[in-house]
Amino acid sequence: MDVIGERKLAFWPAEEAEQEREILLRVGRPRQRPDNDWEVDIDIIDPEKEWKLPPVWGHDGFGAVISGIIGLSKYIAWYTMRGRLTLPVHGDDLFPEWALLADTSTPPDTAD
C-alpha cells in the first residue's frame, strides 16, 4: 500500500487481563478504477487482531480518501466497544469518528 496518511492510537482494553497496545490506522493513495471511479486501501495494524479491510471508493480521489477515513472510523468503533482509544502523546480519549482526524500537535497560542 502506498500510504498517504496514518495515525497511531493507544487501545486500552476493558479486560484487565489484556495489556494496552498501540494500533496504527492507514489510508492509501487513491487510484483510478477501470469504471472511472477511484478507490483507496485502508488498513489497521494491530498486533493482537488481524484485519482484512476491503478498499473503499469515491467518485474522485478526494472522495475516495474521505470514504477511507469514514470507513476506518466504522471499524475502530469495534475498539471503543471493547475499551477506549487515546492519542499516545496526550492520553485524550477519542470518539471513533475523530480518531483519524484528531490533531496530536500542541495547538497554537491564541492572542487575547
In this prediction, residue 94 carries a pLDDT of: 55
Closest CA to 3 of 21, 36, 25, 22: 25
DSSP string spanning 9-29? EEEEESSTTSPPEEEEEEEEP
Q: What whole-number distance in Å separates Cα of residue 29 and Cα of residue 5?
A: 8
Find the DSSP H helices in 35-110.
Answer: 61-80
Q: Encode the chain (112 residues) as per-residue pLDDT tens digits.
A: 888 888 888 898 888 777 889 999 999 999 999 999 999 999 999 999 999 999 999 999 999 999 998 888 888 888 888 888 887 765 555 554 454 454 444 444 444 4
What's CA 78's distance to the chain center, in Å?
Answer: 12
Which pTM does this prediction carry? 0.73
Handedness of CA 75, 80, 82, 87 (dihedral sign): positive
Cell 498517504 belongs to 4
Closest CA to 78 of 57, 48, 106: 48
